[in-house]
Every structure is written in C-alpha cells, then in structure tokens.
Amino acid sequence: MVSSNMLKHLALIMDGNGRWAKERGLKRTKGHEEGANVIRDITTYCSNHPTIETVTFYAFSTENWKRPKLEVEFLMKLLDTYLKKELPVYQKYNVRFQAIGDMSAFSKTLQKRILQTEELTKNNTNLIQVLALNYGGRLEITTTVNQLIAQGKTTISEDDISRGLQTPYSDIDLMIRTSGEERISNFLLWQLSYAEFYFSHTLWPDFNKDELDTIIRDYTNRTRRFGGVK
C-alpha cells in the first residue's frame, strides 16, 4: 500500500532573487541568473529521488508583467538561454520538460524554444520538470471551465476540471516557498488543495539540495489526513 505521505509531486515558489542581489549590491537581474542555476540543481536532485515524479517551478506569473520592462525582457532572455543550455542536462538526467501557462504572450522565438524543448524531451521518463510560465491558477481554472462549456458540458464535476487542467499529472504533495513570504500568489490553486506547505527563510539563489533534503525529511514525518482522521 502506498503511504499517504509519499512525495510524488513537489512544487516550488522561487522567491527572493531581488533581495539576494540587493544584499550584495548587485542588479536584480544577477539574482535571477543565480536563481536559474538553482533550478538545475534542484531538478537533478529530484531526478535522483526515489519517489518524486514531477517538480513544478513557478518561473513567471501572469502578474509578473507589472515589473519594469527591462527586468521582464531580461527574464524572457534568461528563459531562452536557460532552455538552450538545459537540453543536454534534460537528456543526461532523463528529464522531460513541460511548460504550463499562457505562452501566447511570449515572442515567437521563445514559444518555438519551449515547444522544441518539450518535443525533444518528450520520451524522457525519470522526472517531469514543469515550468509555470505566464501562469495563473485562476486563469488555468477559468480556461478549463470555458473549454468544458465549449465541449457542450452543462454540469461540470471536480473530476472534469482535474482532468481538463494543464497540469493533470497529480495533486501537489509538498509546496515550498522561499524567502520568508507566506503566500500562494495564484499558484496551482486547484492542485494545492491537500498539499503540505513549507516556508523557508532562505532566498531562492541560496536554496540548495541539502535544505530540500531536510524539508523532505520533515514532510515525510508529517501526518497527512486529507480531511479524515488518523
């Protein structure tokens, strides 16, 4: 019997890049650059973990367009460079890359890079790395409901929504947010229903495999009741 606190789907809100850079007298963009390297480390950790099947990172929210234009442009460029550099890493660690969110607002070049990376890694089976890009939980649920209506559904069940989401893999087991902020910020609202939460004070560029390991050990010792009693 599968234990209820087996960790299959881990989600991370990567927060604190700007503060990390500011503390060092660096530009905010440097914090994002360092943050991208941490995504790689955490992904390789997850690919070596015996039970994790999916890791989802919140890389760009539907609200992040409000940032200064130059920072948004930098993040777009960084994403393109990251995916280009990452391809051999995905292949080496047998990781499948998938993006969720509304990609239509991105440049054609970036959209192509995302689709190509998804295509080239689609047969990898060790781990799914999901990047949430121009993603919003409310938008995802609303889009799903509208699609079901367009298909002619008049009564919509929870199962219909779960299956219609862009992230039908599984519910989230553990959600970690770094930098001391304790918010969901419109991330995976539906899929987080029964997740365990962990808020770390570490700024994302300083987050590492050792801390993740400690958090996972803490998670494993928690009792998950899913609304019932134990």
Site membership for ligand FPP, residue 64 (CB under 6 A): yes
Helix (H, G, I), strand (E, B) or coil at 100: strand
Rounded Cα distance, 98 and 27, in Å:
29
Total of residues contacting ligand FPP (CB under 6 A): 19
| The one-letter amino acid at 146 | N
Residue identified by tokens 């890079």 is 113
Cβ atoms 76, 142 nearer than 8 A: no
Q: Binding ligand FPP by CB under 6 A: which of 7, 10, 12, 16? A: 16
Comparing every residue's Cβ against ligand FPP, the nearest one is 18
Rounded Cα distance, 139 and 143, in Å:
6
Rounded Cα distance, 132 and 137, in Å:
10
Site membership for ligand FPP, residue 15 (CB under 6 A): yes
Q: Binding ligand FPP by CB under 6 A: which of 131, 132, 175, 212? A: 131
Which is the catalytic residue, given 17, 48, 64, 218?
64
> Judged by CB, which is closer to ligand FPP: 67, or 224?
67
Helix (H) or strand (E) holding 134: strand 127-135
In the complex, the smallest distance separating the C-beta of residue 218 from ligand FPP, rounded to whole angstroms, is: 23
Q: Binding ligand FPP by CB under 6 A: which of 7, 10, 11, 36? A: 36
Which is the catalytic residue, given 15, 17, 124, 173?
15
Q: Binding ligand FPP by CB under 6 A: which of 59, 99, 100, 212? A: 59
| Interface region with ligand FPP, contact rule CB under 6 A, candidates 15-23, 121-129, 164-172, 216-224 | 15-23
First to last CA, the chain: 16
The CA-atom distances, in angstroms, between 174 and each of 9, 12, 15, 44, 206 are 7, 8, 16, 18, 20
Question: Is residue 124 annotated as part of the catalytic site, yes or no?
Answer: no
Question: Is residue 15 annotated as part of the catalytic site, yes or no?
Answer: yes
Rounded Cα distance, 181 and 188, in Å:
17
In the complex, the smallest distance separating the C-beta of residue 82 from ligand FPP, rounded to whole angstroms, is: 4
What residue ranges bind ligand FPP (CB under 6 A)?
A: 14-19, 28, 32, 35-36, 39, 59, 64, 75, 78-79, 82, 131, 204
Catalytic residues: 15, 64
